[in-house]
Amino acid sequence: MGLVLFFDGDCGFCNESVEIVYRLDNKGAVEFAPLQGRLAKELGLGGFADKEGGTMVIIRESDGERFLKGDAWIELGKTLGGVWAVLANAYSVFPKGARDWGYDLVARNRYLLAGKADTCGMPDEGLRKRMRK
């Protein structure tokens, strides 16, 4: 695997985003782990699920580098390849502050956009195989 995408498991918007990334990832390069899970806790990432402005965290497995906010989207796009890599490169021309501002705007409103997950939906078997705890 290439990346581990840590996401807010209590967030409907985040769960839907994981489903989309899973479907787009034809190479199987991305694994997923909730920020409320054991692996995130072991890595000290649990605080990134903050209700007031959490962020996904991406860890590149080849070197352990961590990416947050807009930088995480860029790394994810490069990993997915194709049109997503082109969009990631275009997005990278914006200053980091502007990228992170846009990310923060969505993150602060993610529960309004898709609600808070009261129960955990059952992903299909392929996604379950790429889910870490």
Alpha-carbon dihedral angle through residues 62, 133, 57, 106, given to the nearest 10 degrees: 150
- Based on the structure, what is the number of domains in the chain? 1
Asked whether residue 58 is assigned to any structural domain, the reply reads: yes
Asked whether residue 130 is assigned to any structural domain, the reply reads: no
Asked whether residue 22 is assigned to any structural domain, the reply reads: yes
Query: Alpha helix locations (H) across the chain?
Result: 12-24, 38-42, 69-80, 83-91, 96-108, 110-114, 125-129
Residue 24 is predicted with a pLDDT of 93
Residue 5 is predicted with a pLDDT of 92
Residue 82 is predicted with a pLDDT of 94
Residue 93 is predicted with a pLDDT of 95
Domain of 49 in residue numbering reads as 3-114
Q: What is the pLDDT along the chain (133 residues), one digit of tens a residue?
A: 589 999 877 767 777 888 889 999 999 999 999 988 899 999 998 777 766 556 778 889 889 999 998 899 999 999 999 999 999 999 999 999 999 998 888 777 766 665 555 545 556 676 767 777 7
Asked whether residue 133 is assigned to any structural domain, the reply reads: no
Q: Please tell me the distance from the alpha carbon of residue 121 to that of residue 51, in angstroms, as a whole number.
A: 20
Asked whether residue 71 is assigned to any structural domain, the reply reads: yes
